[in-house]
Structures are given as structure tokens and as C-alpha cells.
């Protein structure tokens, strides 16, 4: 029987956490689907899929557009994003696209 691959956690993810999975985790923090202390380290793909579905539903009322969030959620959204960018840059993330990107 194959053991499912487990997620490394947002702070161990590639590019300093600037991946699609990490973005989804930050959005889950935004909507309080999981606490901001939850890194999802060790989660299996089915757990991440359930979280993704919750995040997708939570974004629905705002059309997935941050400027349509409530002022409180906008503030939280930008705080989380600023912290993520700072962390990623400190861990080697370069936002410039390469020739193969």
C-alpha cells in the first residue's frame, strides 16, 4: 500500500512559501478556516483539497477580489501578504520571472 505524499508545510515550501498551496493556506488563515499557527505540515492531499474547497467557498461572496472584502478582512489580507512577502524574500524568493517561467 502506498503512503500518500505529505505536504512539507508553508514555511518549508519552495520559494519561501510562494506557491499555490501556500497561497491557499494564507487564504485559509484570512477566513479563519485554520488558525494562523497552522502550517499544514504533514497534511495529505485530501486534507489540502478539503481546505481548498473551503477557501474557494469563502472567497465566493467577494468574487475572489481582495478589494471587495470587508475593510477588516482587507486589512488582515494585506497584513498576511506583507508578512509572506517579507518571509519569502528573507528565504531566497525572487519575484522576477526567469526565461523558463
Instruction: Provide mean pLDDT across the span 64-68.
Output: 96
Residue 10 pLDDT > 80, yes or no? yes
The confidence score (pLDDT) of residue 61 equals 96
- Encode pLDDT of 24-59 as tens digits: 999 999 999 999 999 999 999 999 999 999 999 999
**Domain residue extents for the chain:** 14-90
The confidence score (pLDDT) of residue 97 equals 63
Output 98 or 4, whichever has higher pLDDT. 4
Residue 98 pLDDT > 70, yes or no? no
The confidence score (pLDDT) of residue 99 equals 61
50-55 contacts at long range (C-beta below 8 A, 24 or more positions apart)? 51/24, 51/25, 52/24, 54/28, 55/24, 55/27, 55/28, 55/31
Amino acid at each position: 500500500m502506498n503512503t500518500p505524499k505529505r505536504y512539507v508545510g508553508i514555511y518549508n515550501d519552495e520559494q519561501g512559501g510562494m506557491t499555490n498551496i501556500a497561497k491557499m493556506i494564507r487564504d485559509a488563515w484570512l477566513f479563519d478556516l485554520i488558525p494562523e499557527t497552522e502550517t499544514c505540515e504533514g497534511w495529505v492531499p485530501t486534507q489540502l483539497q478539503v481546505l481548498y474547497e473551503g477557501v474557494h467557498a469563502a472567497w465566493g461572496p467577494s468574487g475572489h477580489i481582495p478589494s471587495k472584502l470587508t475593510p477588516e478582512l482587507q486589512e488582515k489580507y494585506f497584513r498576511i501578504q506583507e508578512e509572506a512577502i517579507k518571509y519569502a524574500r528573507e528565504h531566497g524568493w525572487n519575484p522576477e520571472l526567469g526565461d523558463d517561467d
